[in-house]
Amino acid sequence: MISVAIVGTGNVGFHLNNELAKSDDLNVIQFNSRSQNSLTDFDIAILAVSDDAISEVSKNIESKLVVHTSGTTDINLLKNSHNKGVFYPLQSFSKQKEVDFSHVPLCIEAENKEDLELLETLGKSLKSKTYIVNSEQRKHLHLAAVFANNFSNHMFTLAEEICNKNNVPFEVLKPLIQETTKKIETLSPAKAQTGPAARGDQKTIENHLELLDTYQQELYLKITQSIKKYG
């Protein structure tokens, strides 16, 4: 029986606790991050707290292994005296929506093989796929996620903005958006790239620029250049 303390009651802590508690092989207890418990009796403490709080909260925890769940925080910012690790679920969570952990990749890091195996065991309980990712890689992965998620979503926002301004329902574009992301399940996005920038269709690019304000034109040109550069 593996004893697991989950510290933090935010989105990540909430869903991890919900899911890990289902396993017969784990004994899971959730704590508020402000509780003064040193958690000495636990094999692992998972700190699902805000990035800024990781160092401070970790100082007082005596579990054999302490891991944080942050995409941007170095493993060495953990200040506990025993083993350290990372258990980073790369997905967007909201409390209202149930999480299917089989669609949540887990990026794990630890200082030794035994701890990595323990993190992999937890991953298996969640039915998640685990990836060994060190702190340096994880920083870049988090940046890549901003492009893949936040920035792509903003492209949808700008598309919606254009639709709204011209009284066209945004839903007309939704099947195209779904097709775009379906394509890259099997094809590299660089290879899936289409459109005026990819085929060097300068006439269409100029027609588009005429429809945009100065601010949007700069963004359009910047991305068009980037497509020409990276394919």
CB 54 → a second copy: shortest distance, Å? Answer: 14
Tell the smallest beta-carbon distance from residue 28 to a second copy (Å). 24
Does residue 190 touch a second copy according to CB under 8 A?
A: yes
Applying CB under 8 A, the span of 15-23, 61-69, 110-118, 187-195 interacting with a second copy comes to 187-195
Site for a second copy contains 192 (CB under 8 A): yes
Is the CB of 29 or the CB of 198 nearer to a second copy? 198
Q: In what order do the strands lie in the sheet with 2-7?
A: 26-31, 2-7, 44-47, 65-68, 83-89, 106-110, 130-132
Residues 79 and 176: their CA atoms lie apart, in Å, by: 48
Please tell me the chain's helix, strand, coil percentages from 3-state DSSP, rounded to the nearest 5. Answer: 50, 15, 35
Angle between helices 11-20 and 113-125 (to 10 degrees): 80
181, 200, 202, 206: which one contacts a second copy (CB under 8 A)? Answer: 181
**Which lies closer to a second copy via its Cβ, residue 114 or residue 161?**
161
Rank residues 81 and 172 by Cβ distance to a second copy and give the closer one.
172
Among 43, 60, 131, 135, binds a second copy (CB under 8 A): 131
| Subset of 58-117 contacting a second copy (CB under 8 A) | 72, 90-92, 103-105, 107
- Site membership for a second copy, residue 40 (CB under 8 A): no
Buried b (16+ CB within 10 A) or exposed e, 189-208: eeeeeeebbeeeeeeeeeeb
Neighbouring CB atoms inside 10 A of 173's CB total 16
Of 56, 195, 202, 206, the one binding a second copy by CB under 8 A: 195
Binding part of the chain for a second copy, among 14-22, 36-44, 54-62, 189-197 by CB under 8 A, reads: 189-197
Stretch that binds a second copy, among 10-18, 55-63, 113-121, 216-224 (CB under 8 A): 216-224
CA 66 to centroid of chain Cα atoms: 20
Contact 22, 12 (CB under 8 A): no
Q: How many residues bind a second copy (CB under 8 A)?
A: 82
- Residue labelled with tokens 């990749």: 105
Site for a second copy in 134-153 (CB under 8 A): 136-137, 139-153
Q: What letters, b where the CB count within 10 A reaches 16 and e where it falls short, cover 69-80?
A: bbbebbbeebeb
